[in-house]
Amino acid sequence: MQNEISVAIVANSKDFFLTKLCVASIRYYHPNAEILLIKDKLNGSFSSKILEKRLNVKVLKLKKKYFGWGSAKIHFHIDLVESKKRYLLLDSDIIFIGKLLDKFNKLDADFILHSEIYTQPFSETVKRIFINPEVVKTIYPEYEYPGYFFNTGQFVTSPSHFNEKLLDKCFNKNRYPYFTNRKVFHMPNQSIFNTVLPIMFKKNNSKVETFEYMLWSKKFLLEPENAKMSSYLDGKKEYLIHYAGDIRSTDLSKMRGSELLIFFKKEYDKKLTKIEILFSNWQDKINANKHIRRVLYLKSTALLKIFKIN
């Protein structure tokens, strides 16, 4: 049996209010799990000290500080290639339902993917959100469709199995915005991982488990019964709810499944002092300001493109 899985969450100032909910949901079901925060400064710097202190979260410092478009996930694999650990790599717009880590930890697998099975010929939509294997094979002749694609908002990974050399045709780690050959790799990190990981699996003889463990909020939470927190208090149902493409607002009452989100917001606030709660709420409102975010984003991209600072 392999070592226990750590959770690594990619966060930026824009969605940090969701990061807090993500961490609170993990802590509710897994009080002792190691949680690591990967901070992307592209939308501006932000303080995570309260989160770190009160919910026992560590900041994982990568060699770069500015990422965008999910590139932090690729830099994560490059920087941690010497690590022998397994990680559940997450987007911030996700909440835990149940003791999913317990289920993962029982699996002796190097990778655990949320798989989506599509049959050929693939629709244009599938080609756009994942890859077109026929085109990919002109660049990576060794690629073979494994029978599924996988969503990269959440997956268990072993960075030690990663081969940086395979990125030469799609990713330049030294030059922002890092992604190259965008006509082939439309959805940058997702397209790249769906290409290079299957190749690596074969070369490394990696152990891979695939099944569906993520639910889209826009579909799953349409059913009123699914949006009741009372259904999940015992932790027996095990999956992730992903808010990608859904309404996202610091006013949680406006989001789908607001009862779940408000529950985890209260769980988060329970661990904070009154002053910390005030600061946390103020931080969320400031970060939600589109004008401030725009200025900070333009500043960051200028530093990256003109002055090559990262």
Pairwise CA distance, residues 241 & 113, whole Å: 15
Pairwise CA distance, residues 161 & 204, whole Å: 7
The yes-or-no verdict on residue 1 having pLDDT over 70 is no
The yes-or-no verdict on residue 65 having pLDDT over 80 is yes
More confident residue, 78 or 2: 78
Task: Express each pLDDT in 145-196 by its tens digit.
Answer: 999 999 999 999 999 999 999 999 999 999 999 999 999 999 999 999 999 9
For residues 45 and 13, the answer to whether their CB atoms sit within 8 Å is yes
Q: Which residues pair with 36 in a beta bridge?
A: 8, 58
pLDDT for position 268: 98
Pairwise CA distance, residues 133 & 3, whole Å: 34
Mean pLDDT of all residues belonging to the chain: 96
Task: Express each pLDDT in 270-292 by its tens digit.
Answer: 999 999 999 999 999 999 998 89
Task: Summarize the confidence of residues 94-109 as an average pLDDT.
Answer: 97
DSSP state of 107: S
Pairwise CA distance, residues 46 & 155, whole Å: 26
Starting from the edge strand earliest in sequence, which strands make up the sheet with 214-216, in order? 94-97, 239-242, 214-216
Pairwise CA distance, residues 59 & 69, whole Å: 20
Task: Summarize the confidence of residues 17-29 as an average pLDDT.
Answer: 98
Specify the 3-state DSSP secondary structure of 8.
strand
User: 298: Cβ–Cβ under 8 A, 6 or more apart, which residues?
Assistant: none
Task: Express each pLDDT in 191-224 by its tens digit.
Answer: 999 999 999 999 999 999 999 999 999 999 999 9
CA nearest neighbour of 36 among 13, 19, 21: 19
Angle between helices 258-270 and 16-29 (to 10 degrees): 80
The yes-or-no verdict on residue 75 having pLDDT over 70 is yes
Q: Is 166 left (phi over 0), alpha (psi -120 to 50) or beta?
A: alpha
The yes-or-no verdict on residue 309 having pLDDT over 80 is no
Name the percent of the chain lying above pLDDT 70.
Answer: 100
Cα–chain-centroid distance for residue 82?
Answer: 21
Residue 88 neighbours by CB distance under 10 Å? 22
For residues 86 and 2, the answer to whether their CB atoms sit within 8 Å is yes
**Confidence band, pLDDT 50/70/90 cuts, at residue 303:** confident
Domains of the chain by start residue, with CATH: 6-109+154-162+211-305 (3.90.550)
For residues 203 and 163, the answer to whether their CB atoms sit within 8 Å is yes
